[in-house]
Amino acid sequence: MNISVKIQEEANKIKVDIQGEIDAFTAPKLRERIFPLTDKEGVEMIINLSNVSYLDSTGLGVFVGVFKNLRSNNGGLQIIGLSSRLMRLFKMTGLANIINISGQSEGEVNESTF
């Protein structure tokens, strides 16, 4: 199982493009790459999951941790590019009610804030 994480930073705006599967094996690697970016004050992070084929509870845990840390540092999180399957997972767990998520495809995403 593989995961690829591409990070673009511009001031306090960070875009993370993830490709592959996020599971018990890859979630720690993902956390290691993106969690340190959430420590700065006022970071606005966009995570693109349009190329993620699988996500389990350990992956959801990474996003919850990122969300909490960003929020405690007066930042924000938006997760974009969710497939209908991933969108269902976020809704079933209630995370869709607390994290800003979008099922738009990458070509339709409004990144004017980035």
41-91, pLDDT tens digit by residue? 999 999 999 999 999 999 999 999 999 999 999 999 999 999 999 999 999
Q: Could you say which DSSP state residue 46 is in?
A: E
Evaluated on CA atoms 107, 6, 71, 21, the torsion sign reads positive
Helix (H) or strand (E) run with residue 72 in it: helix 57-72
Q: What is the mean pLDDT of the chain?
A: 90
Helix (H) or strand (E) run with residue 75 in it: none
Please give the domain boundaries of the chain with CATH numbers for all domains: 3-105 (3.30.750.24)
Residues 6+ apart with CB under 8 A from 86: 49, 52, 55
Query: Which residue, 76, 18, 17, is CA-closest to 43?
Result: 76
Predicted pLDDT at 106: 42
